Structure 1
Amino acid sequence: MLDKLEMYIAVAREEHFGRAAAALGITQPTLSAGVKQLEEQLGVQLIFRGSRYGGLTPEGQSALSWARKIVGDSRQLKEEMRFSRHGLTGQLRIAVIPTALTWAAKLTARFSEKHPKVRFTILSRTSAEILSMIENFSVDAGISYLDNEPMGKVSSVPLYREHYMLVCHRDSPFAERRTVGWAELNGQKLCLLTPDMQNRRIIDKNFRESGVSPEAWIESNSTIVLTVNVEDGGWMTVLPADMARSLAAGKPLKIIPMEVAEVVHSVGLVAPYREPHTPVLKALLTEARRMSKAG
């Protein structure tokens, strides 16, 4: 039944039989047959469907919670047994908001020094996507905002508090400033992250609270794209301090602190709430706590 529960979780996650089958590496008829067999075993209809996916039935919603718990417990059992035989090994999949990718690199580098047999997959995603991916077992953990969106039931470790920098060309009139006020960027040539990014929503809120609503003429979900436009096109952007320092290093760019906002947001490691955690995830949370204290 376990394989059928994983098929069901994939369909609920993708909301499409074809995409779910592709994600699992099986054919769509195999997936459809597996979900149908699960419904027969449970004696209820889980999914509304005619010619296509039509959503979960009320019984399907309840079954999804159980499916996630059973699959999660099964994976944890496998991890525990592998740890008892081989020590800390395996692979960790981590989804990270774009502005925290430098911290993801720091965390995985420190972790790998102590546990060289663990491999990592790092994905850049929005904060909303990260929570969904954790819930649906698409990733093992995430690095995201801890205090600006409903988090649900998760384990979290704060890593840093976000402060913002103006990134401009060294020839910009702002280049020699010690600080820059948010209102001063009204009417300036700005490139910013796309509105689906929580970082962009925070930046827009800082602008609104300063009484201005500047326009971004270039939007991207890539901080690298923003930095290239600042370097080559005479634009300016606003990024968290660590990301700004990393991207501006070795380039003809200047970074200037933005005036501190009233609310400073925390970013941290987020993992499914389970007691106990798998050995490898427990070790990752422990390393994140060490980094947080060191910072």
Structure 2
Amino acid sequence: MDRRRLECFVALAEELHFGRAASRSGISQPGLSQQLRQLEEQLQVQLLHRSKRQVSLTRAGEVFLDEARKILRSMSAAVELTRQTDDGLIGTLRVGTTPSALFITMPEILLRFRAALPEVHVDVQQMTTDEQLAALRSGEIHVGLLHPPIEDESVHCEVIAELPFKLVLSEENPLARKPTLTLSDLAHETFILFPRGVAPHVYDHLIALCHNAGFSPRTIIEISPAQSIVAMAACNLGVGFVAAHVQHYDRALAAYRTLESATPRLSVAAAYPRKAPAPLAQQFVAIGAAALAGYRGEKAPSDKSGLSDHPAK
């Protein structure tokens, strides 16, 4: 169905005057008459009664007027929807995230993203960093929130948050009486950590910091998400490391302490394919970086492990 013919028909049906309808349509009166004849021939139905004095709709024309308006509205909506999709203003965005990034950073990002792009549906999937990289390569997800370093050259990676770690322990643990602690204070404690697969380089670097302090953790319990680490530490089953932001959501009977000798920081990066990235993915990263700007106030020194050490202040 030709859109121009429909527009000419609706104009004449509403104006019931060839001169006004032609002016409204930006066409000559003979051109308007030709468009309407071609439409009637296509439909094999007479839509208009014509005379020298007046124009009126046939019964079929009255019915077709309603349908023509619907078709034109549908065409306009389809064009707008297509343009919005191409501009990244509508559609579905599939996001992968590690458990820690999901709990700590995703709420703030999604609040801003949904405010900016309310027509976009966000499908969030929890994955490890390695699983996200595979999903980005296969197209299973459009963007990931993971932990560097990222050595995959096919993926663009941008750090959007640097989260200081805090030690979490039971109020009943004697170490809780100290306002600050050093890693060497933890030599005889059971460690409660996120599973190594969540962020292998971060995990390994944390253990390396212990080795630098002169000991290896005697026992390590691996569990996720961060709330579970807090809960186990509160039960005095060991000491845990969680991003400091977790403390704001904690209602458990747990104590939080800063390490005196070093403040490890966990980097969260947004990643998407370098080749043909989804427009929505790039917008998600930009909005995420803005939402988490407060978590990048102090630049970490270059450290490809994704976990950096800052002297305590």
- CA distance in 1: counterparts of 2:86 and 2:273, whole angstroms: 24
User: 1:279 aligned to 2:282?
Assistant: no
- CA distance in 1: counterparts of 2:176 and 2:106, whole angstroms: 29
The aligned counterpart of 1:200 is: 203
The number of residues matched between the two structures is 212
How much has 1:265 moved relative to structure 2? 5.1
How much has 1:294 moved relative to structure 2? 4.6
The aligned counterpart of 2:252 is: 251
| 1:290 partner letter | A
The aligned counterpart of 1:226 is: 229
Match of 1:122 among 121, 124, 129: 124
Deviations 1:22-72 (A, max 9, x none): xxxxxxxxxxxxxxxxxxxxxxxxxxxxxxxxxxxxxxxxxxxxxxxxxxx
The 8 Å contact of residues 127 and 197 in structure 1, kept in 2 or not, is answered as: yes
Please say which of residues 259-268 and 175-184 is displaced more in the overlay.
259-268
The 8 Å contact of residues 163 and 260 in structure 1, kept in 2 or not, is answered as: no
How much has 1:259 moved relative to structure 2? 3.9
Please say which of residues 148-157 and 280-289 is displaced more in the overlay.
148-157
The 8 Å contact of residues 243 and 266 in structure 2, kept in 1 or not, is answered as: no
The aligned counterpart of 2:143 is: 141
Match of 2:108 among 101, 106, 109: 106
Q: 1:214 aligns to what SS in structure 2?
A: coil
- CA distance in 1: counterparts of 2:270 and 2:179, whole angstroms: 32
Deviations 1:53-101 (A, max 9, x none): xxxxxxxxxxxxxxxxxxxxxxxxxxx9362589722222211122222
| 1:218 partner letter | I
The aligned counterpart of 1:83 is: 84
CA shift in 2, pair 1:223/1:205, >3 Å: same
The aligned counterpart of 2:32 is: none
How much has 1:166 moved relative to structure 2? 0.6
| 1:129 partner letter | E
Runs of 4+ aligned residues of structure 1 deviating over 4 Å after TM superposition are 84-87, 260-265
Q: With structure 1 as the length reference, what TM-score do the two structures score?
A: 0.63
Q: With structure 2 as the length reference, what TM-score do the two structures score?
A: 0.60
The aligned counterpart of 1:33 is: none
Q: How does 1:19-98 map to 2 (within 5 A)?
A: 81=82, 83=84, 88-98=89-99
How much has 1:167 moved relative to structure 2? 0.6
The 8 Å contact of residues 83 and 279 in structure 1, kept in 2 or not, is answered as: no
- CA distance in 1: counterparts of 2:127 and 2:261, whole angstroms: 26
Q: 2:110 aligns to what SS in structure 1?
A: helix
How much has 1:207 moved relative to structure 2? 1.2
The 8 Å contact of residues 157 and 288 in structure 1, kept in 2 or not, is answered as: no
CA shift in 2, pair 1:106/1:114, >3 Å: same
Q: 2:196 aligns to what SS in structure 1?
A: coil
User: 1:165 aligned to 2:166?
Assistant: yes
